[in-house]
C-alpha cells in the first residue's frame, strides 16, 4: 500500500507578514555590515599592509632596480658602441 502525501502549502501563520520583510532585510543588512565592516577591514589591513608592502618592496627594490639598471646599461652600451662604430667606419672610409 502506498501512503498518499498531501501537498505542502504555506499557511498564513508560517508566512512572514509583508510589513516585516523590509524591516527584517534592514536588520540583516545592518547586522552584516556591522560584522563585516570592522572585522574584515581590520583583517584586510593587517594582512595587506605589512606583508604585501614588504613583498612589493623586496621584489621591487633590489631585484627590479638591478634588472632595470642592467637593461639600461646594456642599452646604453649597445647604443654607444653602435654610434661609435658608425662614426669610426664612416670617418675611416673618408680618411682612407
Show Cβ contacts of residue 24 under 8 Å, excluding neighbours closer than 6 positions: 16
Could you state, in order of their start, the residue ranges of all structural domains in the chain? Answer: 20-59, 61-95
Provide the whole-model pTM: 0.33
Report in angstroms the alpha-carbon separations of 52 from 5, 46, 56, 75, 79: 59, 10, 6, 32, 37
Q: Give average pLDDT by consecutive 10-residue segment, the chain, 96 residues.
A: 61 61 79 75 77 76 80 91 83 60
pLDDT value, residue 73:
92
In this predicted model, what pLDDT tens digit does every residue of 80-92 receive, in sequence order? 998 888 887 776 6
Amino acid at each position: 500500500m502506498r501512503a498518499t502525501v498531501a501537498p505542502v502549502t504555506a499557511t498564513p501563520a508560517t508566512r512572514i507578514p509583508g510589513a516585516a520583510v523590509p524591516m527584517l532585510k534592514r536588520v540583516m543588512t545592518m547586522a552584516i555590515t556591522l560584522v563585516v565592516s570592522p572585522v574584515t577591514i581590520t583583517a584586510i589591513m593587517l594582512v595587506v599592509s605589512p606583508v604585501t608592502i614588504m613583498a612589493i618592496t623586496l621584489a621591487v627594490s633590489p631585484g627590479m632596480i638591478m634588472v632595470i639598471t642592467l637593461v639600461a646599461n646594456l642599452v646604453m652600451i649597445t647604443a654607444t658602441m653602435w654610434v661609435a662604430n658608425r662614426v669610426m667606419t664612416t670617418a675611416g672610409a673618408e680618411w682612407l
